[in-house]
Amino acid sequence: MIKNYEGVSIVLGGAAGQGVQIVENILTNVLHRSGFTVSANKEYMSRIRGGSNSTEIRVTSQSRTGYVRSMDICFPLDSAALTHLMPRITPATVVLGDTQHLKTEHKIIDVPLARIAEELGNPLMANTVAASVILGLFHADETLLEAYLTEQFQRKGEDILQKNILASQEGYQFGHHLAYMESIHIPFPTPDQQETKKILLNGNQSLGRGFIAGGVNFLSSYPMSPGTGILTFYAEQAVKHNLVVEQAEDEISAINMGLGASYAGARSLVTTSGGGFALMTEGVSLAGMIETPIIIHIAMRPGPATGLPTRTEQADLNLALYSGHGEFPRAIYAPGDAVEAFAIGQEASRIADTYQSPVFVLTDQYFLDVIEVVDEKDLLVKPWLSTIVKTTPEYERYAVTKNGVPGDEVLRGVSPRGVPGYGTGLVAVDSDEHTPDGHITEDLDMRVTMMDKRLQKEQGIRSEVLPPTITGDIKKAKTILVGWGSTKSVIAEAVDRLESHASLDIAKKTKVSTGIASVHFAQVWPLPEDTQELFAKAKKVVVIENNATGQFAKLLKLEGVDVTENILKYNGEPFSVEELVEELKSL
């Protein structure tokens, strides 16, 4: 009997190229359409073929996207996957697999994938069979399974489609039969038809949608995992949304293309990962000097150098914060879920355009690949207006105005932004220090004037900082947990588990509080002015992040926060809910 503590966790494993991704796509889509609340995350090795990859699909009674190590069902597609997943297998784990190809002494319930596929005349059908077995266990809607397969395989011809449908029927009936075996009876959450009205999004899709909603219409990039997902998403949406997408020859070209497009009036985005961004830093400084807006998406991965290119880490915060020589303002965001990513995509575009400065969005492999159920009503589209002005012959690109825009006190240091061809003025820009009309100067007093002008923009950026998300009674909490970016979901679930385990006063039948509150930062620079005050009454401030040196904790300390504990992980895996619960119990 599988315990339905936090729903059911299904883990599938196999080699790259073996079809684990296909199985995940079938399962998440059909389970969702059947009314189940699903999420999925994945881990994979840096190779095109071979190795051992896995995907974890959670079916829960409420939205949960945190990674859990526990497996209720394990379905390895080859012996290497079984070996790879063995540390996560417990006596309660039900292991399904084709014993014809799995060599182990561990107890396995035989699922003859190869035999069924061979009878259908195509060994590739084993993936469809495997997915359908699990759908049969969950009594998912079989008609929805056939409809999904039709969507995916119809373009490949009637013969391929019908063989996949037959494979799904064989697998579904096999799983349906297994569901009644006492040893693997699964008390799965009850389907809810309201869930079918929602949509499935991964991090790339939610953030990409946000950028598009914010008017970002130009993207340049040189592919680098895991940052390439935004590039491919934009390429897919280019025709529909009238986007310009350019794959550059390298990262230096990518950021300079972005700056050129922005100079011409576009809203520009570049996407990369840490190693690629290292080449962009001169371009970041150029953006600061020529006061040209650009959004830089850094999909963080473990370094230094190539490091672990397909794993996850939060170790590029300092890289974004201190990149580019010289001093100039910037903003840095790090979304923690799909709804937040959609909002931040728009906010990053607005702040970059308003303050004519570089803006960073930090994500990581875990966040970008997580699939979650989202209510489209929560994806709020905010209207935006272009700040570009029509120029006159007297136009000065770097005019030292009192407020930038007349009557708007927060825009100190912002000059009216013109673009070539819109009006009669000359839009001159210069990477050297320059005069208000954009021409090179070595006048030292002018240098001070222009530096002060540029740095004044930080006042405006600070006035629009996103407040952190606070969960629990922070004024009474003895311990405050702090996270940023992708740790949001796992911290939330760990706290929920601690609360559910809090002791009961038998006489009063009331729950005893754990005394924990949590604070999630979706904007990590600048920090809110009241950051220090936020943590003033807590006995313990515990910062949880996926890096080795506590980069965000150190940033909080610079803001005067007394950080008492760090919980760090930097082996390339995200935190699991279970390990975080144990870490917090020990505190």
Does the CA dihedral 436-442-443-445 come out positive or negative?
A: positive
Q: CA-based angle 503:504:505, to the nearest 5?
A: 125
* Average pLDDT of span 465-475: 94
Q: Are 263 and 218 in contact (CB under 8 A)?
A: no
Confidence grade of residue 106 (pLDDT, cut at 50, 70, 90): confident
Question: Does a structural domain hold residue 181?
Answer: yes
Query: Does 400 share its domain with 340?
Result: no
Q: What is the pLDDT of residue 270?
A: 98
**Spatial separation of the C-alpha atoms in residues 388 and 378, rounded to whole Å:** 30
Which residue spans within 430-527 are E strands per DSSP? Answer: 469-471, 479-484, 504-505, 510-511, 516-521, 523-525
For residue 533, give the CATH number of its domain. 3.40.50.920
Q: What percent of the chain has pLDDT over 90?
A: 81
- Of the candidates 143, 172, 197, which is a domain's last residue? 197
Do the domain assignments include residue 1? no
Check which CATH number belongs to the domain holding 229 and give it: 3.40.50.970
Q: How far is CA 153 from the centre of its chain?
A: 29
Contact (Cβ atoms closer than 8 angstroms) between residue 64 and residue 36: no
Domain identity same for 207 and 121: no
Between 412 and 522, name the one with better pLDDT.
522
Give residue 177's domain range: 8-197
Edge-to-edge strand list for the sheet holding 73-76 = 109-110, 94-97, 73-76, 8-16, 50-60, 37-43, 371-374, 199-202
pLDDT in tens, 550-577: 999 999 999 999 999 999 999 999 999 9
Name the token pair of 143.
């008609």
Q: Spell out a b/e string for 301-318, using b for 16 or more CB atoms within 10 Å of the CB, else e.
A: bbbeeebbbbbbbbbbbe
193-221 confidence digits (pLDDT tens): 888 899 999 999 999 999 999 999 999 99
Confidence (pLDDT) at 513: 60
Tens of pLDDT, residue by residue over 472-520, are: 999 999 999 999 999 999 999 999 998 876 644 444 555 556 689 999 9
pTM beyond 0.85: yes
Phi and psi at 401, nearest 5°, equal -95, 160
Taking alpha carbons only, the member of 259, 276, 332 closest to residue 526 is 332
pLDDT in tens, 114-135: 899 888 888 888 999 999 999 9
Residue 543 is assigned to a structural domain of this protein: yes
The per-residue pLDDT for 511 is 53
Give the β-pairing of 479-484 and 268-273. unpaired
* Half-sphere exposure in the Cβ direction for 580 (13 Å, CA): 32
Nearest partner of 354 among 548, 562, 214, judged by Cα:
214
**In b/e form, how buried is each residue of 169-178, taking b as 16+ CB within 10 angstroms?**
bbbbebbbeb
For residue 244, the surrounding DSSP H or E stretch is strand 244-247
What strands, in cross-sheet order, belong to the sheet with 294-300?
A: 244-247, 218-221, 268-273, 294-300, 358-364, 331-333, 523-525
Residues 256 and 311 in one domain: yes
pLDDT digits (tens, 9 = 90+) for 8-34: 999 999 988 888 999 999 999 999 999
Query: To which residue do tokens 């991704």 refer?
Result: 21
230 pLDDT band (50/70/90 cuts)? very high
Whole-number Å distance between alpha carbons of 407 and 123: 70
Judge whether residue 179 has pLDDT over 90: no
- Are 270 and 244 contacting, i.e. CB atoms less than 8 angstroms apart? no
Find where tokens 């905010």 sit. Answer: 382
- Whether residue 65 is contained in a domain is answered as yes
For residue 340, what are its two tokens?
A: 């937040």
Strands 37-43 and 371-374: antiparallel
Asked if residue 312 has pLDDT above 80, the reply is yes
383 within a domain of the structure (yes/no): no
What pLDDT band is residue 190 in, cutting at 50, 70 and 90?
Answer: confident
Beta strand 294-300 with 358-364 is: parallel
Shared-domain flag, residues 207 and 222: yes
Whole-number pLDDT of residue 192: 83
Sequence-distant (6+) residues with CB within 8 A of 507 are none
Name the domain boundary from 352, 378, 404: 378
Residue-level pLDDT at 505: 45
Map residue 408 onto helix, strand or coil.
coil
Looking at the structure, tell me whether residues 155 and 190 fall in a common domain: yes
Question: DSSP character for 333?
Answer: E
Angle between helices 338-355 and 203-213 (to 10 degrees): 40
Three-state SS at 321: helix
Q: Do 80 and 140 lie in a common domain?
A: yes
Q: Which of 324, 345, 378 is the last residue before a domain boundary?
A: 378
Integer Cα distance of 193 and 80 in angstroms = 38
Is 3 a domain residue?
Answer: no
Confidence of residue 158 (pLDDT cuts 50, 70, 90): very high
Give the tokens for residue 258: 């972005």
- Verify that 352 and 394 share a domain, yes or no: no
Q: What confidence tier does 107 reach under pLDDT thresholds 50, 70, 90? A: confident
Do residues 400 and 392 touch, judged by C-beta distance below 8 A?
A: no
Residue with token string 């002018």: 446
Would residue 218 count as lying in a domain? Answer: yes
Q: Which residue, among 137, 115, 110, 126, has the nearest Cα to 164 in the 3D structure?
A: 126
Portion of the chain with pLDDT greater than 70, in percent: 94
- How many domains in the chain? 4
- The answer as to whether 554 is a domain residue is yes
409/517 same-domain check: no
Q: Are residues 341 and 439 in the same domain?
A: no
**Same domain? 475 vs 495:** yes
Q: What is the CATH number of the domain that holds 110?
A: 3.40.920.10
Query: What is the rounded distance in angstroms from the CA atom of residue 71 to the CA atom of residue 88?
Result: 7
> Both 104 and 163 in a single domain?
yes
Q: What is the DSSP letter of 242?
A: T
Same domain, yes or no, for 441 and 482?
no
Q: Are 489 and 496 in contact (CB under 8 A)?
A: no
The CB density around residue 31, as the number of other CB atoms within 10 Å, is 28
